Amino acid sequence: MIAVLEVPCPGERREIRVAVLFDTRSQDPPERGEGWSAAHEQIFFPIDVRFAAHRAEEGRLEGHNLGPLNTYRVVSEASVVRRSHHAIRMRDPEQFVVGMPFRGRCLVEQAGRASSFGARDLSSWDSSHPFSVTTRKPFDLLLLVVPRTLLGPRREAICRRVAGQVSAGSAVGAVAAPFFRKVWETLDDRDTETSREDIADAVIAMVRALHAEPASRAGATTMLPGPVLLAEMKAYIDRHLGDPRLSPASIAGAHYVSTRYVHKLFAGTAITVSDWVRYRRLEACRRDIRDPALADQTISELARRWALSDPAHFSRIFRAEYGCTPSEDRAAVRAGGAAQAAAIGALPVNPRAPWC
């Protein structure tokens, strides 16, 4: 569907033609909330979108293709957008999103950071990690969606700068904000048809420039409190215990912080991050070893499930933690049930075990 809209520009009034991808007014009021959320999932990726107010129902989503990129404009009442780990597992197109409000203010949270950005400010997030975007009042938001592969060799560094704020008053923001607005306004102009690939290249270059800005000048980025980020890291560890590549470096990369900062957070718990990973793997193994439903699987098979592939090493650290070998623990459960199991290795011997 094509609509003609007035575009608010300082000192002038002009009209452009846009592709309307979804408008809640096309549905009956009781269906608008679910329709709005379903439209986002279909157009973007698995995501949860909810209007903030119970009776809110006004939302409009417009879009244009720009070569390998996509541009969208979301005009809506206050809402909350969330992408979870479950949604990421369902489908991840590995997209990098830059947002710029024409009106209103947004709060974006991702990778332990949170930033509030208003009209003509810019921020970003990516589809491969959980995020939320919250608005408390009606808003008009421009989105530029870039495949991560097009960010070039610096894409990992760029993705580590998500959830920052680039102010419209900063040097790069003063260039990027009017450029992105003009790109949106001219996309339906037939004169741009043959030059869209070149415009896309310019947009990608500007996105790179936005995320090359030194952190001291990029705007107000707030790191989530240490305990909150630590809890997120521990949850991430539990979800990846079976991955042999799990390490302080991979944990840091998943949360866009330095490995040093990961170690710093765990230093306050009196246990190192490596010890925590090992402990959680041992707990998972011990649970499986004691599970009657898994009695037909060997201890080595169960250990490999949790990335403990060396039987001798596994037996050694298991004994150090619980005071018995894995075989003795399984035999105790089989022979005497829970009561006898409690007497053999039910409490950890290792005084560093994180019970508090």
356 falls within a domain:
no
Based on the fold, state whether residues 171 and 194 are members of the same structural domain: yes
Which of 187, 222, 257 terminates a domain? The answer is 222
Specify the number of domains making up the chain: 2
Based on the fold, state whether residues 39 and 73 are members of the same structural domain: yes
Using N-to-C axis directions, what is the helix angle for 273-289 and 259-267, rounded to 10°? 70
Which pLDDT score is estimated for 67? Answer: 86
Based on the fold, state whether residues 212 and 150 are members of the same structural domain: yes
Question: Could you tell me the CATH number of the domain that includes residue 131?
Answer: 2.60.120.10
Cα separation, 300 vs 313, whole angstroms: 11
Q: Give the strand order in the sheet containing 48-51.
A: 48-51, 79-83, 131-135, 106-110, 113-117, 222-223
In b/e form, how buried is each residue of 48-64, taking b as 16+ CB within 10 angstroms? ebebeeeebbebbbbbb
355 falls within a domain:
no
Based on the fold, state whether residues 211 and 168 are members of the same structural domain: yes
275 falls within a domain:
yes
The answer to whether residues 117 and 165 touch, using CB atoms and an 8 Å cutoff, is yes
Which token pair is 10?
Answer: 């300082």
Based on the fold, state whether residues 246 and 214 are members of the same structural domain: no
The answer for 67, left when phi > 0, alpha when psi is -120 to 50, beta otherwise, is left
Based on the fold, state whether residues 235 and 218 are members of the same structural domain: no
Based on the fold, state whether residues 110 and 237 are members of the same structural domain: no
Cα separation, 180 vs 336, whole angstroms: 70
Which pLDDT score is estimated for 90? Answer: 93
Which pLDDT score is estimated for 287? Answer: 94
317 falls within a domain:
yes
Cα separation, 17 vs 223, whole angstroms: 40
Q: What is the pLDDT of residues 211-256, one digit of tens each?
A: 884 544 444 445 556 787 888 889 999 999 999 999 998 988 787 6
Q: Measured in whole angstroms, how far is the alpha carbon of residue 195 from the centre of its chain?
A: 33
Sites in the chain below the pLDDT cut of 50: 1-16, 213, 215-221, 340-341, 343-356
Which pLDDT score is estimated for 6? Answer: 41
Based on the fold, state whether residues 153 and 240 are members of the same structural domain: no
Question: Could you tell me the CATH number of the domain that includes residue 318?
Answer: 1.10.10.60
Residue of 63, 60, 99 whose CA lies nearest to 76? 60
Which pLDDT score is estimated for 177? Answer: 95
Which pLDDT score is estimated for 267? Answer: 87
Based on the fold, state whether residues 135 and 235 are members of the same structural domain: no
Q: Is the pTM of this model over 0.75?
A: no
Based on the fold, state whether residues 183 and 231 are members of the same structural domain: no
In b/e form, how buried is each residue of 153-188, taking b as 16+ CB within 10 angstroms? eebeebbbbbbbbbbbebebbeebbeebbebbeebe
Q: List CB contacts of 289: < 8 A, sequence separation 6 or more.
A: 299, 302, 326, 329, 330, 333
Which pLDDT score is estimated for 255? Answer: 76
List the domain range (segments joined by +) for residue 185: 2-222
